[in-house]
Amino acid sequence: MIKAAMGVIAGFLMWFAVATLGNMLVRVLLPGYRAAEAALAFTLSMLLARLAVGALSSIGAGFVCAQVAGRSRKATYVLALLLVVLFIPVHYALRARFPLWYHLAFLGTLAPLVIAGGALRAPRNAVMPR
């Protein structure tokens, strides 16, 4: 139970760490992103970059959660649910600022990508190929 809770916490922190670093990278790589970010006036490529950062954050969070939680698959599901519950009000508040497809893509892939990230963890007793 403690390992599962620690896994959820670690995954949660990992989501925001990857998102923060990814956002910094997008600011550097996409011209005009910083100005668009201030006004929430993103181009299609900027929206897609934001979704990619979210996807990587979700996969990383699920992976870290599973690594820390060990055998508890429930921890990854709890993390996925926690992130969805956290982001629904955020996206609701921003509903007029972004296209509907963006909200649906982010929220619709959030839990499956966290769970997929958790599935990437190798079993503790797996034999590594040489």
- Region of 85 on the Ramachandran plot (φ > 0 left; ψ -120 to 50 alpha; else beta): alpha
pLDDT (tens digit per residue) in 65-94: 999 998 778 999 999 999 999 999 999 999
- In this prediction, residue 101 carries a pLDDT of 97
Tokens 């949660």 belong to: 12
More confident residue, 43 or 127: 43
Per-residue buried b or exposed e for 7-46, using 16+ beta carbons within 10 Å of the residue's own CB: bbebbbebbeebbeebbeebeeebeebeebbeeeebeeeb
- In this prediction, residue 125 carries a pLDDT of 52
Please give the model's pTM, rounded to 2 decimal places.
0.89
All structural domains of the chain with their residue ranges: 2-118
The percentage of the chain sitting over the pLDDT mark of 70, rounded to a whole number, equals: 93
